[in-house]
Amino acid sequence: MTENRVYTTGEKPQNPIILDVVYLISDIREEPQTEHPAEEGAILPTVWSYVVDDVLTIAEYQVLKYAELEEHILELDLALFEKDMEEA
Residue 40 has pLDDT above 90, yes or no: no
Which tops the pLDDT comparison, 32 or 76?
76
Phi first, then psi, for residue 61 (nearest 5°) are: -65, -40
Cβ–Cβ under 8 Å, residues 51 and 35: no
3-state class of 20 per DSSP? coil
Band the pLDDT of 15: cuts 50, 70, 90.
confident
What is the DSSP-derived secondary structure letter of residue 87? Answer: H
Say how far apart CA 82 and CA 88 lie, in whole Å. 10
Question: Residue 2: its pLDDT value, please?
Answer: 63
Asked if residue 45 has a cis previous peptide bond (ω within 30° of 0), the answer is: no
Say how far apart CA 82 and CA 35 lie, in whole Å. 58
Say how far apart CA 56 and CA 63 lie, in whole Å. 10
